[in-house]
A and B are shown apart, each in its own frame.
Chain A
Amino acid sequence: MSDLDDVKAEFLKTLDGAKAAGEAEKLRTDWLGRTGRLRKLTEDLGKLPVEQKKLRGKAINDLKVALEAAIDERLKSLSGVKAAPVDPIDVTIPGARPRYGRRHPVYATMDEIRHIFEKLGFEAAYGPEIETAYYNFEALNIPLDHPAAEPFDTYYLDDPDAASRPYRYLLRSHTSPAQMHVMESRKPPIRVVVPGKVFRTDPADASHLPVFHQCEGLMVDEGVTFADLKGVLAIAAKELFGAKTETRFRPSYFPFTEPSAEVDVTCLLCGGGGCPACKGSGWIEILGCGMVHPRVLEYAKIDPAKYTGFAFGMGVERVAMLKLGVPDIRHFIRNHPLFLRQW
Chain B
Amino acid sequence: MKFTYDWLSEYCRTGLPAAEVAALLTRAGVKVESVEARDGDAVIELEITANRPDCLSVLGVAREVSVVTGKPMQEPGVRIDTTRSFRSPDWMLDVQAPELCPRYVGRIVKGLKVGASPAVIRRRLEAIGLRAVNNVVDITNYVLYESGQPLHAFDLNKLSGKSILVRRGNAGEKMRAIDGREYDVAGALVIADAEKPVAIAGVMGGRDTEVTEATTEILLESAVFDPLSVRRTSMKLGLASDSSYRFQRGVDPARVDWASRRAVAMFREHAGARPESVHLDTASQAEPKRQVQFHVASVARVLGREVEPAMSRKILEALGFEIREDMDGIWRIAIPSWRADVAQDVDLVEEIARVYGYDRIPATPRVAVALSQRQPWDEVGRAVREALCAAGHDEVLTMSFTGRHAAEAPALAGEPVGVLGKTGRREEQMRMGLVPSILDAVRTHEAYGEKGADLFEIAKVYARDARGFSEKTMLAVAGSRGFPALKGALENAFGRLGVLTGILWRPAERAHLVPGRTAAILHQGREIGVAGEVAEALAVAHDLRLRPHVAEIDFEALVEASRLARRFTEFPTLPAVRRDVAIVLDRGVAWRDVESEVRAAAPAGILESIDFFDLYEGKGIPAGRKSVAFTVTLRAPDRTLTSVEADAAIQGIVKALGSKFAAVLR
Partners in one complex: yes
Interface residues of A, Cβ cutoff 8 Å to B? 98-104, 106-108, 111, 114, 118, 120-121, 123-124, 126, 128-130, 145-148, 150, 153, 155-159, 161, 169, 171, 189, 191, 197, 199, 201, 210-211, 219, 223, 225-228, 230-232, 234-235, 247-253, 255, 258-262, 291, 293-294, 308, 332-338, 340-341
B350 within 8 A of A: yes
Q: Is the CB of A104 within 8 A of B50?
A: no
In the bound complex, residues from chain B placing their C-beta under 8 Å from that of A232 are 365, 367
A106 and B398 alpha carbons, distance in the complex (Å): 11
Min distance, Cβ A151 to any Cβ of chain B, angstroms: 8
Q: Is the CB of B52 within 8 A of A253?
A: yes
Min distance, Cβ B549 to any Cβ of chain A, angstroms: 16
In the bound complex, residues from chain B placing their C-beta under 8 Å from that of A341 are 394
- Total interface residues on B, CB under 8 Å, equals 91
Do A228 and B365 form a contact, CB below 8 Å, given A253-B49, A259-B302, A259-B350? Answer: yes
Extra pairs beyond A145-B228, A210-B401, A250-B358 (7, CB < 8 Å): A107-B395, A129-B462, A155-B420, A226-B305, A253-B49, A259-B302, A337-B445
Task: Identify which of B450-458, B561-569, B611-619 touches chain A.
Answer: B450-458
Min distance, Cβ A269 to any Cβ of chain B, angstroms: 20
A211 and B389 alpha carbons, distance in the complex (Å): 24
Min distance, Cβ B372 to any Cβ of chain A, angstroms: 6
A28 and B205 alpha carbons, distance in the complex (Å): 122
Q: Is the CB of A129 within 8 A of B471?
A: yes
Q: Is the CB of A157 within 8 A of B417?
A: yes
Q: Is the CB of A337 within 8 A of B450?
A: yes
A108 and B440 alpha carbons, distance in the complex (Å): 21
In the bound complex, residues from chain A placing their C-beta under 8 Å from that of B453 are 337
Q: Is the CB of A157 within 8 A of B418?
A: yes
A171 and B427 alpha carbons, distance in the complex (Å): 13
Min distance, Cβ B56 to any Cβ of chain A, angstroms: 11
Partner of B29, one of A199, A219, A251: A251
Min distance, Cβ B332 to any Cβ of chain A, angstroms: 19
Q: Which residue of A lies closest to B350 (CB)?
A: A259
Task: Identify which of B285-293, B373-381, B533-541, B643-651 touches chain A.
Answer: B373-381
In the bound complex, residues from chain B placing their C-beta under 8 Å from that of A219 are 367
21 contacts between A and B (CB under 8 A): A99-B454, A101-B392, A101-B394, A124-B375, A124-B377, A128-B471, A130-B470, A146-B50, A150-B50, A153-B422, A155-B428, A189-B368, A201-B422, A226-B302, A226-B358, A231-B367, A252-B31, A253-B50, A259-B346, A259-B349, A333-B398
Q: Is the CB of A114 within 8 A of B303?
A: no
A101 and B428 alpha carbons, distance in the complex (Å): 31
In the bound complex, residues from chain B placing their C-beta under 8 Å from that of A225 are 301-305
Min distance, Cβ B215 to any Cβ of chain A, angstroms: 33
Q: Is the CB of A100 within 8 A of B390?
A: yes
Q: Is the CB of A121 within 8 A of B441?
A: no
A252 and B359 alpha carbons, distance in the complex (Å): 14
Which residues of B from 406 to 459 have beta carbons under 8 Å from A? Answer: 417-422, 424, 426-428, 440-441, 444-445, 448, 450, 453-459
Min distance, Cβ B556 to any Cβ of chain A, angstroms: 11
Min distance, Cβ A266 to any Cβ of chain B, angstroms: 14
Q: Which residue of A lies closest to B423 (CB)?
A: A201
Partner of B372, one of A104, A121, A231: A121
Partner of B50, one of A106, A148, A157, A210: A148
A258 and B471 alpha carbons, distance in the complex (Å): 33
Q: Which residue of A lies closest to B393 (CB)?
A: A101
A101 and B456 alpha carbons, distance in the complex (Å): 9
B589 within 8 A of A: no
Q: Is the CB of B421 within 8 A of A201?
A: yes
Do A103 and B389 form a contact, CB below 8 Å, given A129-B460, A155-B428, A337-B450? Answer: yes
Min distance, Cβ A207 to any Cβ of chain B, angstroms: 15
Which residues of B from 335 to 378 have beta carbons under 8 Å from A? Answer: 344-347, 349-350, 353-354, 358-359, 361-370, 372-373, 375, 377-378
Q: Which residue of B lies closest to A142 (CB)?
A: B50
Do A123 and B373 form a contact, CB below 8 Å, given A226-B353, A261-B358, A293-B346? Answer: yes
Q: Is the CB of A155 within 8 A of B421?
A: yes
In the bound complex, residues from chain B placing their C-beta under 8 Å from that of A261 are 358
A226 and B359 alpha carbons, distance in the complex (Å): 11
Interface residues of B, Cβ cutoff 8 Å to A? 26-29, 31, 49-52, 227-228, 231-232, 248-249, 301-305, 344-347, 349-350, 353-354, 358-359, 361-370, 372-373, 375, 377-378, 382, 385, 388-401, 417-422, 424, 426-428, 440-441, 444-445, 448, 450, 453-460, 462, 464, 468-471
Q: Is the CB of B394 within 8 A of A340?
A: yes
Q: Which residue of B lies closest to A196 (CB)?
A: B460
A332 and B390 alpha carbons, distance in the complex (Å): 22
Q: Is the CB of A155 within 8 A of B391?
A: no
A7 and B358 alpha carbons, distance in the complex (Å): 98
A192 and B462 alpha carbons, distance in the complex (Å): 26
A150 and B235 alpha carbons, distance in the complex (Å): 12
Do A235 and B365 form a contact, CB below 8 Å, given A100-B389, A124-B375, A145-B231? Answer: yes
Q: Which residue of A lies closest to B47 (CB)?
A: A252
In the bound complex, residues from chain B placing their C-beta under 8 Å from that of A228 are 304, 364-367
Q: Is the CB of A101 within 8 A of B389?
A: yes
Do A250 and B419 form a contact, CB below 8 Å, given A101-B456, A107-B395, A335-B398? Answer: no
Q: Is the CB of A104 within 8 A of B397?
A: yes
Min distance, Cβ A106 to any Cβ of chain B, angstroms: 5
Partner of A197, one of B370, B375, B460: B460
In the bound complex, residues from chain B placing their C-beta under 8 Å from that of A102 are 389, 394-395
Min distance, Cβ B451 to any Cβ of chain A, angstroms: 11
Q: Is the CB of B367 within 8 A of A121?
A: yes
Min distance, Cβ A329 to any Cβ of chain B, angstroms: 11
Q: Is the CB of A231 within 8 A of B365?
A: yes
Partner of A231, one of B51, B364, B428: B364
Q: Which residue of B lies closest to A130 (CB)?
A: B469
Do A130 and B365 form a contact, CB below 8 Å, given A124-B375, A148-B51, A227-B304? Answer: no
A292 and B141 alpha carbons, distance in the complex (Å): 39
Q: Is the CB of B304 within 8 A of A226?
A: yes
Partner of B350, one of A123, A146, A199, A251: A251
Q: Is the CB of A227 within 8 A of B364?
A: yes
Q: Is the CB of A226 within 8 A of B361?
A: yes
Q: Is the CB of A145 within 8 A of B232?
A: yes
Q: Is the CB of B401 within 8 A of A211?
A: yes
A296 and B419 alpha carbons, distance in the complex (Å): 28
Min distance, Cβ A244 to any Cβ of chain B, angstroms: 16
Partner of A338, one of B302, B364, B400, B448: B448
Min distance, Cβ A58 to any Cβ of chain B, angstroms: 50
A106 and B458 alpha carbons, distance in the complex (Å): 12
Partner of A334, one of B52, B304, B444: B444
